[in-house]
Amino acid sequence: MASALAAKLGFNSLLRRQAKNFRVRICTMESDMEFSCEVKWKGKDLFDLVCRTLGLRETWFFGLQYNIKDTVAWLKMEKRVLDQEVPQEEPITLHFLAKFYPENAEEELVQDITQHLFFLQVKMKILEEEIHCPPEASVLLASYAVHAKYGDYDPNVHKTGFLAEEELLPKRVINLYQMTAEMWEERITACYAEHRGRTRDEAEMEYLKIAQDLDMYGVNYFLIRNKKGTDLLLGVDALGLHIYEPDNRLTPKCSFPWNEIRNISYSDKEFTIKPLDKKTNVFKFNSSRLRVNKLILQLCIGNHDLFMRRRRVDSLEVQQMKAQAREERARKQVERQRLQREKQLREEAERARDDLERRLIQLQDEAHMANEALLRSEQTADLLAEKAQIAEEEAKLLAQKAAEAETEMQRIKVTAIRGQEERQLMEQKMLEAEMLALKMAKESERRAKEAEQLRQDLQEARESERRAKHKLLEITSKPKNAQVQNISTMPPDLSFSRENLSFDFKDTDMKRLSMEIEKEKVEYMEKSKHLQEQLNELKTEIESLKMKERETPLDIIHNQNTEQGTSKHSNFKKVATSSFVL
């Protein structure tokens, strides 16, 4: 049956060679592309076509990968596509991925498209846990991934729950803590809000700068055996070769930097690593599969070539690319500053407009209150006038009664001669009448004073009415003046002309921006210190919610390395193989 399958595959390969063209599907981290290729095409022809389509010039980091049995392989550049063990189904599916990783992403990755492809691939490997990432770093990386997707944080737009459908953290990290999705989102959003002002490219680069310090970043692992038959792991990365124990992919037992390796060779299944120092033992190991041996050799050659290339003067092509990148960054910086100025002017204009509207509303409220005060003054004046009239009428009535009492007293005096008894009676009545008259006079005087007071109150009320009318007249005429004054102080017209949108890209601007870029490099160490403080703060915040029984072996090893102050770069210093018998 196996021979029949082989015959069938061979027949399919023969049919491909007889056809003029064949179809290939290229899967990138963002999208899929399909090409029609000629039968005679080599791997390089197809690879160049993909790079041109993507606009990618830093081609040396990437390759076309395909699955073969239980391992992966990379398309060879100098060999025809159909002569390689690519999948038999058509279209042939190949994956465009980073094959080699930079030592320092910020210094080496020039193009935005290169940086973006690395960002997507590293993020996928962290989420799929191919790269071990501690929880606090996972939260910070997630915040930069959110910023790269959504831009600056806006509390009016990015409300609670906007990250509910996003995959931002490894499942291992989520399961390690007694935290709800809302609690994770709250911590990610708190970090995200601090990144305000960065562009998408800057957020992606910050992501890569943090990720490249992770112990498993950029390492390809292979199962090997030493001369004694002990199972080990071989790690190949941008810095050299590392030997791990199978259950610890974080801390190598020993390392071989590329600049200290004289030669790597393999014969059949045996690999030999010869250090430059002839006193150091030669390290030999076995790998059971030929395909894996070829893959190891490819990765060793490619990483070693890039290692040496970084330590030489950049080629003319790379120098041109870096110069173009600097110009592009400077142009973007100028454009960003221009947009920032326009945004600031818009915001100032909007604030001035809002202030004017608030002032207008305030004046309207004052006018309404003045109208109400005027109305109350008019009502008070009418009431006082009515009271004054009543008081005057009461005073007249009291005066009339006083006159009648006086007349009655005179009449009593005339008739007092009628008799002693009658006179005494009359005297008594006269006394009573006098007292009544006196009382009436006092009451009349009081009423007269009250009337006088009411007249004064009426005058004051009318004076208040006059002032209220004058105040209302001032208020109703004020908004126009205020509006003219505010309009005169508003920023220039924001409907910018084409002249305002253009800018002169002078040498002085380039020099100034270049100095700013150099200044940013000098400030990197301070930012790194801030980054470490931020990571420690995040770790402290969530430490109390950790369920230690769910820690994986790699989590435990990472914690031990952290306590001992062991880092990825300090591990590399353990070069001497004499300290570890292989």
For 274-324, what is the HEC assignment?
Answer: EECCCCCCCEEEECCCHHHHHHHHHHHHHHHHHHHHHCCCCCHHHHHHHHH
Average pLDDT score over the chain: 80
Residues in the chain: 582
Of 64, 66, 62, 63, nearest to 88 by C-alpha is 66
Which residues are 35's β-sheet partners?
A: 24
Residue 543: is its pLDDT beyond 80?
Answer: no
Sorted by where each begins, the domain ranges of the chain are 21-98, 112-212, 220-312, 319-414+427-471
Output the six-digit token pair for 252: 């190598």
Would the pLDDT of 481 be above 50?
no
The answer to whether the annotation marks 30 as part of a ligand binding site is no
The pLDDT value recorded for residue 319 is 84
Find out whether 35 and 46 touch, Cβ atoms under 8 Å.
yes
pLDDT at residue number 468 = 72
CATH topology of domain 220-312: PH-domain like (2.30.29)
Residue with tokens 């791997």: 43
Rounded Cα distance, 286 and 229, in Å: 9
Residues facing 514 on adjacent strands? none
CATH class for the domain made up of 21-98: alpha beta
Q: How far apart are CA 104 and CA 209, in angstroms?
A: 8
449 appears as a binding residue in the annotation: no
Answer whether 205's CB lies under 8 Å from 104's CB.
Answer: no
- Choose the most confident range, by mean pLDDT, from 293-297, 472-476, 532-536, 553-557: 293-297
Residue 522 pLDDT: 55
**How far is it, in rounded angstroms, from Cα 515 to Cα 523?**
12
Question: What pLDDT is stored for residue 515 in this prediction?
Answer: 59
CA proximity to 232, closest of 269, 287, 270, 272: 287
Q: 3-state SS string over 79-102?
A: CEHHHCCCCCCCCEEEEEEECCCC
Give me the phi and psi of 544, to 5 degrees please.
Answer: -70, -20
pTM: 0.66
pLDDT band at 24 (very low <50, low <70, confident <90, very high): very high
The pLDDT value given to residue 119: 95
The annotation status of 321 as a binding-site residue, yes or no, is no
In terms of pLDDT, which residue wins out, 356 or 490?
356
Q: Is 77 annotated as a binding residue?
A: yes
- Unique residue bearing structure tokens 């870029």: 517
Of 4-13, 231-240, 411-420, 567-576, give the range with the top mean pLDDT: 231-240
Closest CA relative to residue 55, chosen from 102, 111, 105: 111
CA distance 106 to 517: 12
Q: Is 76 annotated as a binding residue?
A: yes
Give the CATH number of domain 112-212; options: 3.30.2350.10, 3.30.70.890, 1.20.80.10, 3.40.50.1820: 1.20.80.10
Identity of residue 72: V
241 burial (CB, 10 Å; 0-12 / 13-18 / 19+) is buried
pLDDT tens for residues 395-409? 888 888 888 888 888
pLDDT tens-place string over residues 514-525: 455 456 555 555
What is the bridge-based pairing of β-strands 21-27 and 92-98? parallel
| Cα 310 from Cα 363, distance rounded (Å) | 70
From CA 252, how far away is CA 234, in angstroms rounded?
A: 9
pLDDT tens for 167-222 read 999 999 999 888 888 999 999 999 999 888 888 999 999 999 999 999 999 999 99
Q: Tell me: the pLDDT tens digits for 433-466?
A: 778 878 887 877 887 787 788 778 778 777 877 8
Task: Of 100-114, 137-151, 298-312, 481-495, give the lowest mean pLDDT range.
Answer: 481-495
